[in-house]
Each structure stands twice: as structure tokens, then as C-alpha cells.
Chains A and B, each alone.
Chain A
């Protein structure tokens, strides 16, 4: 069996940032990603980031990806495994990998799990009809492969993903007549909502989808208003003529590998679902196994990059690398993460972490 010092699962913003710190410290790093290109969600984020310079503000996600990856890609101590899926995690940090038809195992001193998240779905009538997509899938089709998902889209969900993907659909010449949101308020940034409103998107609050219409593919959608108990109100149905239904109803951390290993996970609604219990070093309840990025609670790429650096630094210290100013760097990173979580939009994340903290 092969051995590697540090194995990172997921080459998204968190994994790439962790790899960078570990390579700089002197470690040998294997970076595994199931996609054919590194970057995770950054590969399709054509919008500019908010925040400060330190958080890559006003850079687009795809540009940030190049900054992160170009810095490490030719490093002699980096072993990049693309189109490789981690199929299983076993005790003693044995990692089972699959690439095409090839199966192999690697044993690692340290594992950093940066697997990100998967998209949530929604129960409604006829919801398995072709033409019903998750928003991330639509974004991948358009921004990575240059394929339009349809001509007229109903967007479900007003989080930042729903708002941004609605805008990007319109940039691609796709019509988005209506966006429905089950809650009373817009859940993403108002600046994004205002932009698509100005472009004519009819944003309906307290409204959801009841049924996808069509037999072989989506030919329309029936929407209806919701009552205070989130139940659809009979008689309020309205038919919208669309050929695509796009679900932007949230993300859920991809903790399955951590759960295979027996790392403790706790259900925290505000963080998207099951999240690993971590100590202040971002280590899970399994020694030598760290978690960072969306897998540890749904946030944004900016926070994932900082969390990746924190996990990378801690892993390097655990391996015995003497890092200059390690303590000061850690303190600065934790402050930076706290800054990102401050403000009204960080409330849910703060609440989630407070609940997680109280239960650990």
C-alpha cells in the first residue's frame, strides 16, 4: 500500500488552501478530487466576490481558483489525483480510491476532509420529470460546459445561489419570469435580489412549487401560496409557462466519509445538516482526521479558504513542522473567519456554531 504524509480529499477552496499551507511547511501532500479539474465550486463561480482584499473581493471565483491552484500545481511535493473518488475511509487512515476502473489504497498520517456539500432537493408532484434541475447543476452546465439548460426557467429559492444563478441564466439569454421563495424574506444578499428584480424577475414570497407539468419533460410549473405552517393553500394555484425548473433550496454538508470512519457528527439545521464535531484545531473526533470548508457547515468560499488554511497549519504543526509565527498566523486566521461571520448575513452561521459549541 502506498503511503503519503498528508492526504486531502477535495480540491475546492478549502482543500487547495490547506494544501498550500502544508506544502509551504514542508509536507508531502496528496490532493484527491473526483472532478477532472480542480477548484470545486470555484470552477463555475463567474461572479465577483464581496468582502475585503484579504478575502479576494472583486475577484471572480474562477480567477481565485487560478491564484490558488497556479501557486501549488508544479510543487514537487504535491501529488494531484484528479478524476479520483474516495470510496471509503478506514481505521488507521487507510483511504480507498477509485479512478475509472482502477482501485487503490493509500495510507496517510493525516487526512483533511474538504469534500464540500451536495444540493438539497424538494418534494413536489412530478418532481422526477426531466427538466427539473438543482441550481448548482444548472450553473455547471452553463458556466463550465457552455450548455443552456432551457429557454424559460422557474427559480425556486431566494438564497444567494438562486439569485446569482437566476442572473447568470439571464446573462446567457435564458428567461427567468418568476422566482418563488417559501419564506417571508429574501434569504440572500438584497443587492443580488434587486438586480434581478430590475431585470424583470417577478419575486414571489411565501410561495412554492406544487407540481411540475408535462409528461416527458417540463412544460410548465404550478406554484401556490403557503400559509404560516408552510402548507400550500388550495385555490391559490397558478400555472407558469416554463421548460425548466431550477431548485436552489440549500446545501447539505458531505459528511459521508467522516461518518464511515465513525467521526462524530451532530445535526445542526443552521449549518445545513450533519456536521462533524471539531476541536479548536479543526480536528474531528478521530485523531489525525481534520475537516474544513462546507463539509463542516455550509458557508461561503471565502470562509472555506480561511478554514482550509487553519486546518493546514494545524496539521503541519501536528506533523512537527516548525512554522514561523504559527501562533500569530492562527490568531489572525481565526480573527479573519470571525470577521466574515460578523454582520447580519453571518447570523445563521454564528447561531449554528454556537449550537454546535454548546453540544460539544
Chain B
């Protein structure tokens, strides 16, 4: 993959984050999923990192030369999908 163009490799389709975007952040010293997420919104779209998560983890491990299990995953919170506040209110009243 070293011979590929990172600008043309999409890691997060929901938020349109490329591998080049991740490399740029790595160069600035960011190295956890949580940090990348806060800056670039990677993993914050409809799939909630279920597609890009493993690729981000893999790229972190590779770039910093650490085992995959040491590439920290992001914090997961409710909800798993988008819900309108109106519907939460209606549903909570009943």
C-alpha cells in the first residue's frame, strides 16, 4: 500500500475522510481514534465506525508501528442511529 495514492483512498465514507487526511493528523501527533474523530468526524456518520473503524485502527497501528490491540478504539455512546428529539419526547411520554 506504500505505492498507493493516499488521497484516493477513502477511509470514512460517511464523513469523506481519506487516508491522506489521517496521515496529516498523524504527522501533527494525533494517534488515537478518539482524537481523530473529534477533529475529522471520522466514524461519526450513519455507520458509527462499523465500516471505517477497523481500517482506522489498522492505519494507526501501522503508522506508529504498534500492535493492533494497542491502537485504542473510540468511546461508544448511545445512539447507534439518528433519532429526532421530537420522537424521543413523544416516546418518553407514553
Contacts and interface: CB of A to CB of B under 8 A. Distances in A.
Interface residues of B, number: 37
B10 A128 contact: yes
A227 B94 CA distance: 61
Given A123-B55, A210-B4, A118 B50 contact: yes
A102 B83 contact: no
Interface stretch (B24-32, B34-42, B71-79): B71-79
Q: Is the interface of B mostly helix, strand, loop or mixed?
A: loop
A87 B80 contact: yes
A124 B9 contact: yes
Interface in B1-17: 1-5, 8-11, 13
Interface in B50-87: 50-55, 59, 68-69, 73, 75-81, 83-84, 87
A103 B1 CA distance: 44
A232 B3 contact: yes
Interface in A79-118: 85-90, 96, 98, 101-105, 118
B69 A267 contact: yes
Contacts of B54: 120-121, 252, 273
A271 to B, nearest CB: 12
A121 B88 contact: no
Nearest to A272: B54
B19 A231 contact: no
A85 B81 contact: yes
Contact of B79 (A88, A119, A273): A88
Interface centre among A89, A101, A266 (most CB of B within 10 A): A101
B19 A123 contact: yes
A269 interface: yes
A254 B50 contact: yes
Contacts of A123: 1, 4, 9, 11, 19, 55, 59
B91 A102 contact: yes
Interface string A283-315: 000000000000000000000000000000000
Nearest to A89: B78
B5 A274 contact: no
A354 interface: no
B10 to A, nearest CB: 4
A260 B55 contact: no
Contacts of A87: 78-81, 83
A256 B92 CA distance: 23
Nearest to A359: B69
A231 B3 CA distance: 8
Contacts of A260: 76-78
Contact of B2 (A125, A231, A273): A231
A90 B53 CA distance: 23
A259 interface: yes
A234 interface: yes
Contacts of B59: 123
B29 to A, nearest CB: 22
A166 to B, nearest CB: 22
Contacts of A124: 1, 4, 9
18 contacts: A90-B78, A103-B83, A103-B88, A103-B91, A103-B92, A105-B92, A120-B55, A123-B9, A123-B11, A123-B19, A124-B1, A125-B4, A230-B1, A231-B2, A234-B3, A252-B50, A256-B76, A257-B80
Given A123-B4, A125-B5, A211-B4, 17 more contacts: A87-B79, A88-B79, A90-B78, A98-B87, A103-B88, A105-B91, A118-B50, A120-B54, A121-B54, A121-B55, A124-B1, A128-B10, A232-B2, A252-B53, A256-B80, A266-B69, A274-B73
- Ranked nearest first, the 3 interchain pairs of A and B with the lowest CB-CB distance are A88-B78, A103-B91, A267-B69
